[in-house]
Amino acid sequence: MDTAKNLSLILTRMEKARANSPAAAKRVELIAVSKAQGEAAIVELLEAGHRTFGENKVQEAKTKWPALRERFPDVSLHLIGSLQSNKAAEALELFDVIETVDRPSLVDALAKTRNEGRGARCKTFYVQVNIGEEPQKGGVTPAELGDLLEYCRTPRSSPLAPLPIAGLMCVPPADKNPAPYFALLRKLATGHGIQQLSMGMSGDFETAIRLGATSVRVGTALFGERLY
Ligand SMILES: *Cc1c(COP(=O)(O)O)cnc(C)c1O
């Protein structure tokens, strides 16, 4: 696997999809999803100048990223997997962006920790939307989104310390055409005055970009198959 070469190919494909679409964002960020990937490939991307990465587990990120951050301090790390409330403080220390806010109890845990002056690294939060309303997936349903956003403005744990929500994130059903789901996420964001849209993975990032993604999360197309 030539990861640095994959990086430049994917950036080229992203820019082509963006430039040819009137609904595309002015700028689209690539989140390199490094979960279950070897360190050598991650370092190859860092040395090629890439700085934005995604991990789905707090524990795994904790074993990999503090050491890499000593060498590459300007890394931006996104949490893209579900977060247990008892790991909220750790996640706030480790990640720059948490994309998976999905329930009031987690909002409370995050807001409380922030209000205590801890977890200062993370300043950006997205709500995960279960856009296909699949029982096995995390995220709020489209119908529940308004209530959760309202809760983020005045969490019970710290009513004076809102959790600012900058974006929405989704993973559409695996076996369906993703386009209508991406379009729905965008419509929800517009309706709620939210700017950032994290949508699109290895198999569908160009479709997501055409429909307005501001970031795409790409793992296997960059790194190859994951090492489980
Ligand atoms: C693993 C993962 C990705 C990357 O998936 P690929 O198909 O390997 O690009 C993107 N988003 C989330 C939430 C993931 O868990």
Which pLDDT score, from 0 to 100, does residue 227 have? 81
Distance 107 CA to ligand 1 centre (A): 23
Q: Which of 166, 216, 170, 163 is nearest to 196 (CA)?
A: 166
Q: Which of 33, 35, 31 is nearest to 58 (CA)?
A: 35
Listed range (29-33, 39-43, 76-80, 154-158) with the worst mean pLDDT: 154-158
| Contact present, 124 and 73 (Cβ < 8 Å) | no
Is residue 1 predicted with pLDDT exceeding 80?
A: no
Q: For 180-202, what is the mean pLDDT?
A: 98
82 lines ligand 1 (CB under 6 A): no
Q: For 107-126, what is the mean pLDDT?
A: 95
Distance 186 CA to ligand 1 centre (A): 19
Buried residues in 108-126 as b, exposed as e (16+ CB within 10 A):
bbbbbbbeeeebeebebbb
Distance 95 CA to ligand 1 centre (A): 17
Q: Which band of pLDDT confidence, cut at 50, 70 and 90, is reported for residue 37?
A: very high
Is residue 22 predicted with pLDDT exceeding 90?
A: yes
Distance 224 CA to ligand 1 centre (A): 12
Output 203-207 pairs: Cβ under 8 A, ≥24 positions apart. 204/172, 204/178, 205/10, 205/13, 205/14, 205/17, 206/13, 206/14, 206/16, 206/17, 207/178, 207/179, 207/182
78 lines ligand 1 (CB under 6 A): no
Q: Which atom of ligand 1 is nearest to the CA of 202?
A: 9
Q: Which pTM does this prediction carry?
A: 0.97
Cα separation, 125 vs 54, whole angstroms: 14
CB atoms < 10 A from the CB of 43, how many? 14
- Closest residue by Cα to atom 10, ligand 1, is 217
Phi, psi (rounded to 5 degrees) for 127: -95, 135
Question: Looking at this protein, which amino acid is placed at residue 121?
Answer: R
Which pLDDT score, from 0 to 100, does residue 159 have? 86
- Closest residue by Cα to atom 13, ligand 1, is 80
Torsion over CA of 73, 33, 20 and 165, rounded to 10 degrees?
Answer: -70
- Closest residue by Cα to atom 14, ligand 1, is 80
Q: For 187-203, what is the mean pLDDT?
A: 98
Tell me what the pLDDT averaged over the chain comes to. Answer: 96
Q: Which band of pLDDT confidence, cut at 50, 70 and 90, is reported for residue 181?
A: very high
Structural tokens at position 39: 């360190």
Structural tokens at position 101: 């806010």
Question: Looking at this protein, which amino acid is placed at residue 74?
Answer: D
Q: For 163-177, what is the mean pLDDT?
A: 97
